Amino acid sequence: MLCPVLSVLNRLVPLVALTFSFSCFASSITVTDIAGRQVTLNAPVSRVVLADSRALVALNILNPQNPLHGIIAWDNALQVKVPDMAQAYSKKFPAIDKVPVFANPYASDFSVERALKMKPDLVIFDTGLLAKLRDSGTLNQLEKSGVPVIFIDFRQQPLTNTVASIRLLGKVFGEEKNGEKYISFYQQRLSLIQQRVATLTPQQRPTVFIERHAGMTGTDACCHTFGKGNFGEFIQAAGGNNLGSQWFETMGGEINEEQLITSQPRFYLMTAADWSQAHKGSVSIPLGYGADEQISQKMLKGLMERRSQRVLTAVKEGRVMAFYHQFYDSPFNIAAVEAIAKFLHPTLFADLDPLADLKMMHREFSSLEYQGLFWINAK
């Protein structure tokens, strides 16, 4: 539990989260992170460097009143890659614009010197950075300096690690109760889907190709896809046969147009978002908190008219669906799994309502009101 007086102040004035250290009830705990490392730290933490600012969604689950609690710095992923979400949070929590920002560690070197000057009591990284941080010596420098480091994962193996990551964050932030509430919902929905999918024969699992960040850099870009990780997991869990899993062992890669056309997937999926600010010439579908269905439908049709897509039977017959790309790095990923399951197997999941669940998740586990559009089917 947080110190009573400061906890009240923190919930009333978000900036307190950036200036006060809630140390009066902090105690030493040892946790095992998603990378399997045992880490000892003082919890609840109060000065945290977040190396992927999109984890704000997870922190919001833990602290519905003030998701910024304890964050003293984070990377620029929220601003650059998810501007619609950044704007939605900024309207409700103006203090978000005052959080110090550094470059995304995937695209640059993490500055240990700058981090140490902030006097953090925890640094949180994505597991995808583990090898890079070890090889560069960054992880060793942080550990030698006495700054605890943990790794979470909503991105590499999301269906395996989302529950464990929420539980880990709940422990270090002292918000286990809220974390377990979300975990209970998450596990119930995933278990329901897994039980029904288990009744399918291999022949009843349709082939699926999913195009990663469709149209992000223009009309000619094709064909990045997901392998066994990330959205590839979503497709398999939802009762599909992800073609990318046959070609790529991990997160994914790029195939050529001929390979796509030859594969003739039964269903064609895309991940998309409004990337117009970061990528000039982007023709992606502007899904997200600021999306308009009419505009999104128009952009979807444009992507279906590309030369390597329009010859596919799945596209000709309208078996096409686009998803908000940021499900790929979010504990709300279960909504995407639900939507894919219902799209691939409408009869098997006739009673499942993914949109109602996503709205409920915003109502119960987020400070943001549901608005916009997060997936769209071809008409």
Phi, psi of 207, deg, nearest 5: -75, 140
- Among left, alpha and beta (phi > 0; psi -120 to 50; other), residue 364 is alpha
How many other β-carbons are positioned within 10 Å of the β-carbon of residue 276? 14
How many other β-carbons are positioned within 10 Å of the β-carbon of residue 252? 22
- Per-residue pLDDT tens digits for 85-98: 999 999 999 999 99
Summary mean pLDDT of the chain: 92
What is the C-alpha end-to-end distance of the chain, expressed in Å?
50
- Cα distance between residue 88 and residue 108, in whole Å: 27
For residues 199 and 88, is the Cβ–Cβ distance under 8 A?
no
- Cα distance between residue 164 and residue 43, in whole Å: 17
Q: pLDDT at position 280, please? A: 84
Q: pLDDT at position 12, please? A: 45
Report the candidate in 39, 29, 32 with the shortest Cα–Cα distance to residue 139. 39
Q: pLDDT at position 18, please? A: 41
The average pLDDT across 316-328 equals 97
The average pLDDT across 19-43 equals 83
Q: Which of 15-24, 249-258, 365-374 has the highest mean pLDDT?
A: 365-374
- Per-residue pLDDT tens digits for 248-284: 988 899 999 999 999 999 999 999 999 888 788 899 9
Q: pLDDT at position 19, please? A: 39
SS (H, E, C) 14-65: CCHHHHCCCCCCCEEEEEECCCCCEEEEEECCCCEEECCHHHHHHHHHHCCC
43 beta partners? 27
Report the candidate in 56, 46, 52, 50 with the shortest Cα–Cα distance to residue 89. 56
Q: How much of the chain, in percent, has pLDDT values that exceed 90?
A: 87
Q: pLDDT at position 4, please? A: 42
For residues 328 and 231, is the Cβ–Cβ distance under 8 A?
yes
